[in-house]
Amino acid sequence: MIKVGSQNVLYPMPVTVVAALVDGKVNFVNIAHVGILNASAPHLISIGMNKSHYTNRGIKENRTFSVNLMPQEALMAVDFVGMASGHKTDKSGVFETFFGELGTAPLIASSAVSMECELYDTFDTPTHDLFIGKVIATYADEGVLTDEKVDLAKVRPLLFDMSSRKYWSLGAPIGDCWQAGRKYGV
């Protein structure tokens, strides 16, 4: 092993489109820095967003947002909403939206999976807002479900790698969680 400096290499990450109302208009931004804080109820997720993002204002004002897991077929639109700034570009028509239980978190109709979130807390850093969201409801396209569970093979999610600056896709599963380790040392 050799030292390669201080690098964050926790990639690839799933690409999401975060949606929020900003001044009453839907805005979208491509965000890959997402995380799970609590896998059981209450379901808490985090999204790390540069303070320069237009969407941040809407999340803070309305205290709601959605996190949408987009399929590979949406690559061009997903990349576009990450490149175009809501400060200068009206992105409200890029995706068709609907509203769920909260009524103020736009959800993307063509998303494979959408999580409707209520702002739980915000952690302020010098360059980023870390939004903690409580998942109020999750919506899934029927075509990505197997036995009422989200099937990642059917979702075909986009993955993001900062070091190569490329989008990636999932490969085939290679083992079962909480099972493969049973064979360790045997």
Evaluate whether residue 6 is within a structural domain.
no
SS (HEC) of the chain: CCCCCCCCCCCCEECEEEEEEECCEEEEEEECCEEEEECCCCCEEEEEEECCCCHHHHHHHHCEEEEEECEHHHHHHHHHHHHCCCCCCCCCCCCCEEECCCCCCEEECCCCEEEEEEEEEEEECCCEEEEEEEEEEEEECHHHEECCEECHHHHCECEEECCCCEEECCCCCCCCCCCHHHHCCC
Residue range of the domain that includes 48:
13-183
CA distances from 112 to 6, 76, 85, 106, 185 (A): 35, 16, 24, 15, 39
Domain count, the chain: 1
What pLDDT, in 10s, does the model give residues 65-95?
Answer: 999 999 999 999 999 999 999 999 999 999 9
What pLDDT, in 10s, does the model give residues 113-168?
Answer: 999 999 999 999 999 999 999 999 999 999 999 999 999 999 999 999 988 999 99
CATH number of the domain at 52, please: 2.30.110.10
What average pLDDT score do residues 84-110 get? 97
Evaluate whether residue 8 is within a structural domain.
no
Contact assessment for residue 115 and residue 67, using Cβ atoms and an 8 Å cutoff: yes
What pLDDT, in 10s, does the model give residues 9-47?
Answer: 888 999 999 999 999 999 999 999 999 998 888 999 999
- What pLDDT shows up at residue 184? 87
pTM for the model:
0.93
- What pLDDT shows up at residue 33? 93
Which pLDDT band, with edges at 50, 70 and 90, does 112 fall under?
A: very high
| Residue 186 pLDDT > 80 | no
Cα distance from N-terminal residue to C-terminal residue, the chain: 28
Evaluate whether residue 19 is within a structural domain.
yes
Evaluate whether residue 5 is within a structural domain.
no
- What pLDDT shows up at residue 64? 98
Evaluate whether residue 56 is within a structural domain.
yes
Evaluate whether residue 28 is within a structural domain.
yes
